[in-house]
Amino acid sequence: MERRDFLGTLSAPVLAACAVCMGACSKSGDSITAAPTGVNFTIDLNTSLTFAGSWLAQSGVVVARLASGNTAGSFTAVQQACTHEGVAINYDALGTRFVCNAHGSVFNTSGAVTAGPAPRALKQYSVSVTGTTLTVTG
């Protein structure tokens, strides 16, 4: 077989395989960074989030206690997936902010981007407090 024939025979399957791989490796964006919908869960404040700066992740949402007192204003809840590439964010109590350790995105307690590369804000969820039960919805 001549070189030209060999390369011609080989190139079509290789190009097809590369096209499949490139499609699989491309960012789908919204699917990995999408905020959960239909969120509705409760947290017992007697056992969780007992002090300012404490936080937890549940159902794709990060909930943080910003201040003492069992009022809705003492808490915030945002989506857990960074809007850049979907990496789970953490709450930085010292800086009172959410941080994505993978690429350095920073968000305020309302979810707004304060440092990129994240292209958009985190979804913020509604919080309400009844007695010692925190409810997160959205």
Q: Domain boundaries in the chain? A: 30-137
30-137 CATH fold = Rieske Iron-sulfur Protein (2.102.10)
pLDDT of amino acid 28: 43
pLDDT of amino acid 33: 83
pLDDT of amino acid 14: 46
Percent of the chain scoring above 70 in pLDDT:
78
pLDDT of amino acid 17: 44
pTM of the model: 0.77
- pLDDT tens digits, one per residue of 13-50: 544 444 444 343 434 445 688 899 999 999 999 999 99
Is 102's pLDDT higher than 70? yes
CA-CA distance, 113 to 78, in Å (whole number)?
12
- pLDDT tens digits, one per residue of 67-95: 999 999 999 999 999 999 999 999 999 99
